[in-house]
Amino acid sequence: MLYLTVVEASSAALVLPFFELDAHRRLGNVVRVSPDTISVDGVDAMRIIYQGGFPKAPWYRIFDNYGVPCMFSTLESKAHSKRKRMMSNVYSKSYIMSSEAAKAQSNAIMLGRLLPILREEAIKSSPGGVEVQSLFMATTMDMISTYVFGLDHGTNFLQDKAYRDHWLDLYLCRHHHHFWPQELPQVTSMLKQIGLRLYPAFVDKANDELRAWNKSICDKIIGTDVNTPSQDKTAAQTAVVFTAMQQGIDKEEKAEGTKSILYSTTIQKRDASIASEVLDQVLAGHETAGIVLTYAAWHLSGSPELQKLLRHELSPLISTDTQSLPNTKLLDALPLLNAIVMETLRLHAPIPGPQPRETPYPGCHIEGHFVPGVFPNAKVWNPNRWLGSGNQEEMKRHFWAFGSGGRMCIGSNFALLEMKLVLAVIYANFTTTVVDDVGIEQTDGYSARPAADQLYLGFKLSPKAE
């Protein structure tokens, strides 16, 4: 069995380790990088593999939680499709934009938590600046956890800084010790059984605490009537994703019963299956968007003129004394805001690691070619490339921040809108400058955070907000 990893060597700066990137540039679009692994470059190859339903490699089992798979770790295509169908509607762009729950939750978090914190910091005008990576991680965790669990059960990391710092410490302490458990899980497990550890014990303790934290939230919700909210429950309290999952499992069990391909996992182990799914979503959902927002704010903070242009674009939709967020459809259509998000995703992909697939029986034929020049000066952050370029369709074909095909990131629409809302709230009200960006370079790993895991920016009230 050969495993395939597909990369876009000609259009992105941070997707590959140098040796693999160099190998593609020297040897072409198909390179054998180990006895059982082929690395493939090019948009044509991506279409064949990821839209052709090639099965996921067993490597993804490392993302199982509580002994059961989540949608992301599901290897079989049919089982994946059934799990995805339970949640795909509530993550669709049309649903998110029309959802009263999402609107109320965004207002509570952006205007009730984030904006007051930034106003206070701008007034204090500390010479040391504001550490924004943790602030962005707090915002994105509050957003995704509230969409999953409802406002009552979601996190409040923005206002509870002490617990936020503790939780992020748990999450980050694992970041530099991924290799052994992720890339060689069987060897790691075997050696662990005979007393030889390849990574520190605190990593397992952190993972255990994070799983327990997530399970405790699920246990508070399971058994309550989340499907039919009471009359006094507000829209913000709606557990949108959790409710969709419960309803989806009910529907699958009623329709298929013991014949369901999900019977032994999702149906028989219902509580564990729901907990596995939501843990995957809140962990991935907060980190990826938080990384992109960190780099977007960093680039914007180095360009006062671009901040002015963005503020001018936002001004018809969001005022500095606003009591509600702008219409999401209008916000989503803003060309400069969209260009900033797209360019940051292109250059600073938060999950640049390979997405391995197995070759289907009895084999496959892949042919393609390099597509040079799709992103001129690919290592330069330049939102203007997404504005009025005659090369828009070709750029979109090579844009792969969320993957493609049936396994494309289910939260892409939520993440895009979330990042646009955060940037809109910030740059409609403040100007930012870089105070300390030492260690801002992106790390090389499955997820790619800033090396220092921090960024300090200075905030000042914009002229209209003073």
- Phi then psi for 226, rounded to 5 degrees? -80, -15
308's tokens? 């002015």
Give φ, ψ of 18 to 5 degrees.
Answer: -60, -40
The pLDDT value recorded for residue 298 is 97
User: Lowest-pLDDT range, 41-50, 259-268, 346-355?
Assistant: 41-50
User: By percentage, how much of the chain surpasses pLDDT 90?
Assistant: 62
pLDDT of residue 107 exceeding 90, the answer is: yes
* Type of residue found at 254: K
pLDDT at residue number 231: 57
pLDDT (tens digit per residue) in 112-130: 999 999 999 999 988 999 9
3-state SS, one letter per residue, for 111-155: HHHHHHHHHHHHHHCCCCCEEHHHHHHHHHHHHHHHHHHCCCCCC
Identify whether the C-beta of residue 59 lies closer than 8 Å to the C-beta of residue 25.
no
Residue 195 CB partners (closer than 8 Å, separation 6+): none
Tens of pLDDT, residues 418-450:
999 999 999 999 999 999 999 999 987 778 889
Q: Across the chain, what does the average pLDDT equal?
A: 87
CA 31/CA 42 separation, integer angstroms? 12
The average pLDDT across 126-151 equals: 96
Over residues 256-280, the pLDDT tens digits come to: 999 999 999 999 999 999 999 999 9
Q: Which residues, at least 6 apart from 327, have a Cβ–Cβ distance to it below 8 Å? A: 317
pLDDT at 8: 43
299, pLDDT greater than 70: yes
| Helix, strand, coil fractions of the chain, as percent rounded to 5 | 55, 10, 35
Q: What is the pLDDT of residue 11?
A: 35
Average pLDDT of span 407-413: 88
If pLDDT is split at 50, 70 and 90, which confidence band does 33 have? confident
Q: Are strands 30-34 and 3-7 parallel, antiparallel or unpaired?
A: unpaired
Cα–Cα distance measured from residue 115 to residue 82, given in angstroms and rounded to the nearest whole number = 39
Q: Which of 91-105, 186-200, 292-306, 317-331 has the lowest mean pLDDT?
A: 317-331
What pLDDT does 160 receive? 97
Give CA torsion, residues 272, 277, 283, 288, to 10 deg: 170
